[in-house]
Every structure is written in C-alpha cells, then in structure tokens.
Amino acid sequence: MQKRFGTLPHWVDERLADETSDELEQLGLRLLDAQSLGDLME
C-alpha cells in the first residue's frame, strides 16, 4: 500500500489493526484495482 499510495495516514494503520484475516485478504484483492487510498479503504 505504501509503495502504491505513498506515506499512509495514521488512521489506515488503526483500521488495518482491526481487520480480520478475511478482510485483509479482500483488501489485498481490492488493492489490484484501487485508483486511490480512498477507493481501497471503502
């Protein structure tokens, strides 16, 4: 994520810490198509 979108805001770290492994897997798949960090974290 950081390589694609640059320095990540603190709220991203907080949100990722609360995600389950299934949610993180889905996030990884969305990363392939996301045009922005906002798209990714919807």
Residue that the structure tokens 């392939």 belong to: 32
Cβ-in-10-Å burial (0-12, 13-18, 19+) of 12 comes to: middle
Q: CA distances (Å), 24 to each of 11, 15, 38, in order? A: 15, 10, 16
pLDDT score for 40: 92
Q: What is the pLDDT of residues 2-42, one digit of tens each?
A: 999 999 999 999 999 999 999 999 999 999 999 999 999 98
The two tokens of residue 8 are 């990540």
User: Largest Cα–Cα distance in the chain?
Assistant: 24
Are 2 and 10 in contact by the 8 Å Cβ rule? The answer is no
